[in-house]
Amino acid sequence: MNTEKSGFQRKKPQEDIIYGVRAVIEAVKAEREINKIMILKGMNKDLFMELKQALNGKNFQLQFVPVQKLDSLTDGNHQGVVAFVSPVEYKLIEPFVEDLLGKGEKPFILVLDRITDVRNFGAIARTAECQGVDAILIPAKGSALVTADAVKTSAGALNRITVCKTDNLKDSLFYLQQTGLRIVSCTEKTKIPLYEVNLRGAVAVILGSEEDGITSDLLNMSDIKARIPMRGEISSLNVGVAAGMVLYEKTRQELYG
């Protein structure tokens, strides 16, 4: 099979696409930050086994797609595999928070539970950077990741704010609790208004999915739940708008009491 055209290309600004079995395997071995890998349904067995061996023990997001999808993404011989490489390097939340605490700082972490809209993610990141969030924590699967569209929507904020990715959001939140951060869930499933909640100091604020809010496991382990007061008949806000309100409230409390 001809592989001369397999390799690397840029289809959009800031979005790295790697295609071809050998190129993707080398990217995996080099520990590139890969958002997801698309694999052809019914891919050549020998090529698939080679790729599968390289991915063994890794936790990449995999999608099995028809050939037309892969053809639309590349100009060359993709050999049945395309990888999307993140424009930024993801961090681990544990060493990041430990470093902040070691410096005597009070970490401010924004936790996004299954936010899937890339533009919502970008807009939230922009607000988070403006309001002094130290890091955004997201799950490795079932969540929007840092893509070219997210970077653009964030007005470059995703190049300035740390993004941490975790395989288990519940375990990471438990770690944050054990290190002294209060876990605050922003949800309509409480009567406590946001302005009555103490957001000063070390805190992790959770915002939930556009579809169904924060998962019950995360709600149950939260130290406190808070709702944004509303007077209209619609029961919930766009998560990007809610993020702006919650993050501003923390800034207001710390600056003005």
Q: Which residue from 139, 114, 140, 110 is spatially nearest to 125, judged by alpha carbons?
A: 110
Contact (Cβ atoms closer than 8 angstroms) between residue 51 and residue 21: yes
pLDDT per position as a tens digit, 167-223: 999 999 999 999 999 999 999 999 999 999 999 999 999 999 988 899 999 999 999
Contact (Cβ atoms closer than 8 angstroms) between residue 208 and residue 214: yes
pLDDT at residue 16 in the model: 79
Domains of the chain and any CATH numbers: 7-85 (3.30.1330.30), 93-256 (3.40.1280.10)
CA 56 to the chain's CA centroid: 23
pLDDT at residue 15 in the model: 55
pLDDT at residue 6 in the model: 46
pLDDT per position as a tens digit, 7-58: 544 444 345 799 999 999 999 998 899 999 999 998 888 888 889 899 988 8
Q: Which residue from 60, 10, 4, 9 is spatially nearest to 34, judged by alpha carbons?
A: 60
Q: Which residue from 36, 47, 43 is spatially nearest to 3, judged by alpha carbons?
A: 47
CB atoms < 10 A from the CB of 221, how many? Answer: 14
pLDDT per position as a tens digit, 154-182: 999 999 999 999 999 999 999 999 999 99
**pLDDT interval class at 2 (50, 70, 90):** very low
pLDDT per position as a tens digit, 80-109: 999 999 999 999 999 999 999 999 999 999
pLDDT per position as a tens digit, 129-149: 999 999 999 999 889 999 989
Say what the pTM is.
Answer: 0.87
Q: In what order do the strands lie in the sheet with 182-186?
A: 162-166, 135-139, 108-112, 203-207, 182-186, 224-226
Residues with Cβ within 8 Å of residue 233, at least 6 apart in sequence: none
pLDDT at residue 22 in the model: 92
Asked whether residue 235 carries a pLDDT value surpassing 80, the answer given is no
Q: How far apart are CA 131 and CA 251, in angstroms?
A: 7
Length of the chain: 257
